[in-house]
Structures are given as C-alpha cells and as structure tokens.
Amino acid sequence: MNTRIAIIGAGPSGLLLGQLLRNAGIDNVIIERQTPDYVLGRIRAGVLEQGTVDLMREAGVSARMDREGLVHEGIDMIYGGTRVHVDLKRLSGGKTVLVYGQTEMTRDLMEARGIDGPDIVYAAEDVTLHDLESTQPYVTFRKDGVDVRLDCDYIAGCDGYHGVSRKSIPTARLQTFERTYPFGWLGLLADTPPVNHELIYAHHPRGFVLCSQRSATRSRYYLQVPLTEQVQNWSDDRFWDELGRRLPADIASALVTGPALEKSIAPLRSFVVEPIQHGRLFLLGDAAHIVPPTGAKGLNLAASDVNTLYRIMLGVYEQGRDDLVERYSAIALKRIWKAERFSWFMTSLLHEFPDSDAFSRRMQETDFRYFTESDAGLRTIAENYVGLPYAFPA
C-alpha cells in the first residue's frame, strides 16, 4: 500500500487531520490500534474553542455540532465563597466557546470517514514506524493476521500519550518537560439537568469542583481527589454528597442528582516533549503534550496542532513549499507552551495542594482576587479560555 500521509491513531487529532487532508485531495491512510467501539467508549472533555469549531466546519463535518452544540458566553469561578462571572464574550472581543462532547466530535469524524473504508484500518497490531530520517518512510502493521506495509511521504503521529510514534524518536533527541500533581479528578456523567447554564470552576478547602455539562439534560461533574483514591470507594450518593459540600449553599440546593452513566478517576499531568518532529515524523495532540484539564485545553491544543500541520501540508503539496516542513515543531510549540501555562495556572489557582503552607494559601487567594477584581485580570483568563490565536501562518 502507499499514500502521501500515514496517520497513526484515530482519536480526534488523527481523524480531523485525515478529513481536512482528504478534502484537500491529499491522500492519507489512518491506522488505529483499537476498534471503533473502543474509541467511542472513551468519555473525554467537552469544550471547543472557536478555532476547533472552525476546523470542524472547514473539514465539512459540523452539521450535528452546529445543531446540538451549546454556545457558552461565560464561565463562573468561585473561591472562598465568592462567585465571579467571567464574561468571555465581552472580555475577549466577541469570542465564545461551544459545549460539545469530544466523544460526539469523534463520532462525527468517524462517520464521515467510514469505518471500513480502504483508507482507515482499525484493530491494527504491532504498528511500527521505519526509516523516519529517509525521504521514504514507511509503516508496518498486522491486520487479521496479515502483515501490511504502508509507504508514504510523511507520518503524522496522532496516537496519544501511550502511542508508538513518540517512542520511535531516539530518546537522546527529545527533551521532556513534566509536572505531576498530587491529585486526580473523579468524574461523573449523569442524565440530569446541569446545575447552572454555564460551567462553574470552584476552589474549596475540601478540594476543587467543576460543574460541566454535555447538553440541557446531561451533566458532567468533577471532584478533586487524592491520587490514591479508588473509584470503587465512591458510590453515587457519596459523590453527590461531596459535590454539594464543596459548592455554595444556593448552588448545592439546586443540584439534581441521578444515577451515574460513567464514573472514573484521571490523574492530572503537564507534559511536553521538544522537538515534536523527527525526520519525516510529526507528533500531534496527546502524543506530543498533555495538559491538566482545568483550562479545557487538551482537545483544543490537539486541534491547533492539526491546523499547523494541515496548513504546512497544503503549502507542500499545492505550492511546493518544502521549506515549511522543518518549521512545524517551532510553530506548534509556541502555542502549546501558552496553553500549558494557562492550564497550569488554572490548576494552581483552583486546587487544594496538600503541601501548601500559610504563605502559599494567601498567594493563591490573592491571585484569585488579583485576576478577578480587574478587567485586565479577567481579560487574560477570558482570552486564554476562548483560545489564543493560531500560530499559523506565522
């Protein structure tokens, strides 16, 4: 088999890149280790920046998203019982975000691609990348017991944090930047109306809380829990009870509880490698970086990597701009680091840190007041939350 771009991984990064390239007439094949059902079974984030929405539209897969997505013009932030409304639209000069589940976005992209087309392979085993430093890289894998070789011009590593792509780069070539946090998020999804029409990010001495949603009838809530916590220790009742204790009384009394459709714990981590290209391999999305979810940036950052690589590939195949290829890593990393900073900032601002002393507590409280008591402070939160401008064209 041969193609122009071999895409490793059919998560949102791989599927979105594949769809954009396909529409532009640039041949690509997606190779995914899991089955379609497995990919769709993962519950992930749900806030799309305008840039991500625009890419879905450009990819021609936005019909359901435009119909069902909820435009949010603000968020609420709470600290020490003080509730601040962050008017994203006013503060960012008219921008908003769209609440639409990553799972739904993945489903739309998957359906557009087709699940058994000749250019997408699910349940591929032993995916291996070869000759990345040559001009003729290739990928091998096994499908239904048959060994397959896929020759290509470039490889897009969209296979997430645990994928094979980043591991195919010699470790001596990569610098790793990492921060782990001493807590995780326990998430619960329920078919109950959300407690508020907008998202609420709240600090509480018992730990951080996020009140999110997927639709007018489906809520998503998160509680900060110690890393040692086990999901089986959390009955639905215990979850709802703890959520209520961490919210101001007026919000807690408006909570509509119900059975959990899903409950899971995810650790929080900041992670970046540099550079995010090696020879003819590019890393995108979670393969290249992880952010803690407090700024809703994970999926959106994956989309901005897709934007960068897609525009570079358009330059290469439509204008012969081969010079752009080596610039992918530098262009993408500029925006990646800003999203890492915002995600770290929101995490530091709103979580309870087990080792914090009296001085760090005052600093955290003062940061909250400093950023929320002036338009200048609120504006920096708003412009990051709705998404900084794309770095390409540079």
Write out the residues near ligand PHB by the rule CB under 6 A: 45-47, 199, 210, 212, 220, 293-294, 296
SS3 28: strand
Helices (H), 4-136: 12-23, 36-40, 50-58, 63-68, 88-91, 102-113
Q: Considering beta carbons, is residue 117 or 258 the nearer one to ligand PHB?
A: 258
State the nearest-atom distance from the C-beta of 120 to ligand PHB, in Å.
26
SS3 45: coil
Q: Considering beta carbons, is residue 11 or 275 the nearer one to ligand APR?
A: 11
220 binds, among ligand PHB, ligand APR, none (CB under 5 to 8 A by kind): ligand PHB
Q: Considering beta carbons, is residue 298 or 378 the nearer one to ligand APR?
A: 298
Q: Are strands 28-31 and 120-121 parallel, antiparallel or unpaired?
A: parallel
Q: Considering beta carbons, is residue 7 or 43 the nearer one to ligand PHB?
A: 43
- Residues near 67 by beta carbon (within 8 Å), at least 6 away in sequence: none
Catalytic residue numbers, as ranges:
72, 201, 293, 297, 385
158 binds, among ligand APR, ligand PHB, none (CB under 5 to 8 A by kind): ligand APR
Q: What is the Cα–Cα distance from 295 to 280, expressed in whole angstroms?
A: 32
Q: What is the Cα–Cα distance from 277 to 330, expressed in whole angstroms?
A: 9
14 binds, among ligand PHB, ligand APR, none (CB under 5 to 8 A by kind): ligand APR
State the nearest-atom distance from the C-beta of 255 to ligand PHB, in Å.
16
State the nearest-atom distance from the C-beta of 47 to ligand APR, in Å.
9
* Cα radius of gyration (the chain): 21
Q: What are the two backbone dihedrals, phi and then psi, of residue 392, each rounded to the nearest 5 degrees?
A: -120, 135
State the nearest-atom distance from the C-beta of 255 to ligand APR, in Å.
26
Note the residues at the interface with ligand APR (CB under 6 A). 8-14, 31-34, 39, 44-45, 102, 124, 127, 158-160, 162-164, 285-286, 298-299, 302
Strand arrangement, sheet containing 260-274: 82-86, 75-79, 199-202, 209-215, 218-226, 175-190, 260-274, 289-290
**Residue 385 structure tokens:** 């939350």
Q: Considering beta carbons, is residue 7 or 251 the nearer one to ligand APR?
A: 7
State the nearest-atom distance from the C-beta of 343 to ligand PHB, in Å.
9
